[in-house]
Structure 1
Amino acid sequence: MLPFRQVDVFSAVPWLGNPLAVVHDTDGLSDQQMADFARWTNLSETTFLSAPTDPKADYRVRIWTTSGELPFAGHPTIGSAHAWLEAGGTPQGEAVIQECGAGLVTVRRSPRLGFAAPPLTRSGEVDADLRARIVTALAVDECAIVDLAWADNGPGWVGVDLGTAQAVIDVVPDIAAFADLKVAVLGRWDNAHVAEFGADVEVRAFYADGRNFGEDPVTGSANAALAQWLIGTGALPDTYVARQGSVIGRDGRVHIEAADGEVWVSGDAVTRIKGSVDH
């Protein structure tokens, strides 16, 4: 039996964040066992914690979706660090150092768990054909697009600035047109709604793989990519809070801070289920 936790990430309020399944002490599990369990949980990601192979790291994590393994993802990073610490993990230094497929990731512990966003692997303009596909998939008018660019830190995100938060909420995507797109959209709240929601912007993240389409509840990688893009262009301030998931019954909060040349993505994480897995 292996220790198991299910963690709600990016929300301190029960059931409003993005759930993550975490299995501890998995050094003896095979790839097939990990893949089978991740498929069975049917969550967007399941992580498996084990001893690190790099002496600089505090633990190693492998991140699996229902269809394969990822080198890095945002909410699994925060959720895994939370689970490891809660289970008694003691970092070598002030921050937690996570080893994953993308290398070593620094996770700071205060004021809440947060990771330094990995560099964008692709940025800049998209070609005209792709832009047209995205406009069609989002079912918005071309004139509604404030800005649109590659903001890819691994998963393949294209970022779309729709100006206002209400424009983001009003998006009704054309699911059939999404094909293999991964699109993160963002818009700003006015001052009255900032005070009401405790959030400066609204974010939604849509993804498809040619067969399945989904909207992610709260997305660390997409928020990281949007922040790197829009803080970089001066379109967003160095510090802000994003709300995500409201259209699909969630209410996550992602805290963004650009400092010392890095963009930090932070959020709450709370264990909701704790037990063991018979593998």
Structure 2
Amino acid sequence: MTPRPAPERRVRSFAQVDVFAETPYLGNPVAVVLNGDGLSDEDMARLATWTNLSETTFVVRPESDEVDYGLRIFTPGGEIPFAGHPTLGSAHAWLEAGGVPKSPGKITQECRVGLVEVRRSGTSLSFRAPDPQRVGPLDSALLDRIARGLRIGRERIIAHQWVDNGPGWAAVQLASADDVLALKPDERHMNDLMLGVVGAYPEGSRLRFEVRAFGAPAGVREDPVTGSLNASIAQWLIGEGAAPHSYKVGQGACLGRQGVLTVEAHGEEVWIGGSSVTCVRGTVHL
């Protein structure tokens, strides 16, 4: 029996970008295929599994001529409609590769959650937080499970909310950033949760909050630095009057990272930003 020939592969531009970090290798990496047109869903999923990063993205031709590019976002577990650090890392790679926005200083990305606006200020990029798809308090059974998963008493959860803007986030607040950093979750109760935990630093600190993201994205036990989660937590806390309109967040310390995100609220809009740096640039055969 004659073996079937291997499918023809193209050489495609590729970058790996560290997001929410000024120093390389201390943020959250994303793999970016800069010309993803013609790839099947299976092709994209296969590469995302192979890179084994929290997300791998594919820049594709958008459906609308009014936007700059389309973006497909895959985790090792499958495609998701939106994620923050892949949005900024992909915009960074697209600009470095010679992309020119249709509107000066503003990039419009088309993804499964809709249109996402990215703006550039100096060397920093920020995205406008998309509208949440689910809000409201968490139910009692879920809170009990979260407390077991975090190995804490339920009374230590001082606030909670659905903060889902696509990936499926729920969030709980603890009394302090130190409480967040001290968590040692029990994975038996966490394996299918998309959970963010936030706690405040003392007044006058360089950072306002510390955040950790568990079970997210799919297939990752803890995400180093998470734009989508911080976007929806900011919408929640600022909306409740529990956070100022401008602050910085730390994330990733428990994983040896030094992620820093900036939050800026202007009216009803919340913007999440930070620095990005390209660590790998080349080609991939797909």
TM-score by length of 1: 0.94
How many Å separate the matches in 1 of 2:182 and 2:152? Answer: 9
What corresponds to 1:103 in structure 2? Answer: 114
What corresponds to 1:183 in structure 2? Answer: 195
CA offsets per residue over residues 58-117 of structure 1, 9 Å max, x none? 111111111211111111100010000010000010300111111211101115211111
What corresponds to 1:240 in structure 2? Answer: 247
What corresponds to 2:49 in structure 1? Answer: 39
Q: Please, which of 88, 91, 94 is the counterpart of residue 78 of structure 1? A: 88
Given that 2:75 and 2:217 are in contact with CA atoms closer than 8 Å, whether structure 1 keeps it comes out as: no
Given that 1:60 and 1:98 are in contact with CA atoms closer than 8 Å, whether structure 2 keeps it comes out as: yes
Q: Which runs of 5+ in 2 are unaligned?
A: 1-10
Given that 1:179 and 1:208 are in contact with CA atoms closer than 8 Å, whether structure 2 keeps it comes out as: no
Secondary structure (helix, strand or coil) at the match of 1:267 reads strand
Secondary structure (helix, strand or coil) at the match of 2:100 reads coil
Q: Please, which of 41, 66, 69 is the counterpart of residue 59 of structure 1? A: 69
Given that 1:178 and 1:213 are in contact with CA atoms closer than 8 Å, whether structure 2 keeps it comes out as: no
Where do 1:16-165 residues align within 5 Å? Answer: 16-94=26-104, 95-111=106-122, 112-165=124-177
How many Å separate the matches in 2 of 1:213 and 1:73? Answer: 14
Taking structure 1 as reference, are residues 213 and 20 closer, same or farther at Cα in structure 2, changes over 3 Å only?
closer
Q: Please, which of 257, 260, 264 is the counterpart of residue 267 of structure 2? A: 260
Displacement of 1:191 after TM fit?
Answer: 4.1
How many Å separate the matches in 1 of 2:53 and 2:163? Answer: 24
Secondary structure (helix, strand or coil) at the match of 2:199 reads strand
How many Å separate the matches in 2 of 1:261 and 1:154? Answer: 19
Q: Does 2:25 correspond to 1:15?
A: yes
What corresponds to 2:213 in structure 1? Answer: 205
Given that 1:58 and 1:98 are in contact with CA atoms closer than 8 Å, whether structure 2 keeps it comes out as: yes
Letter in 1 for 2:21: S
Taking structure 1 as reference, are residues 246 and 165 closer, same or farther at Cα in structure 2, changes over 3 Å only?
same
What corresponds to 1:220 in structure 2? Answer: 227
How many Å separate the matches in 2 of 1:30 and 1:125? Answer: 38
Structure 1 vs Structure 2 CA RMSD: 1.5
Runs of 4+ in 1 over 2 A off after TM superposition: none
TM-score by length of 2: 0.92
How many Å separate the matches in 2 of 1:97 and 1:245? Answer: 28
Secondary structure (helix, strand or coil) at the match of 1:124 reads coil
Letter in 1 for 2:234: A
Q: Please, which of 266, 275, 278 is the counterpart of residue 282 of structure 2? A: 275
Secondary structure (helix, strand or coil) at the match of 2:221 reads strand
Percent identity for Structure 1 against Structure 2: 50
Given that 1:45 and 1:64 are in contact with CA atoms closer than 8 Å, whether structure 2 keeps it comes out as: yes
Given that 2:217 and 2:223 are in contact with CA atoms closer than 8 Å, whether structure 1 keeps it comes out as: no
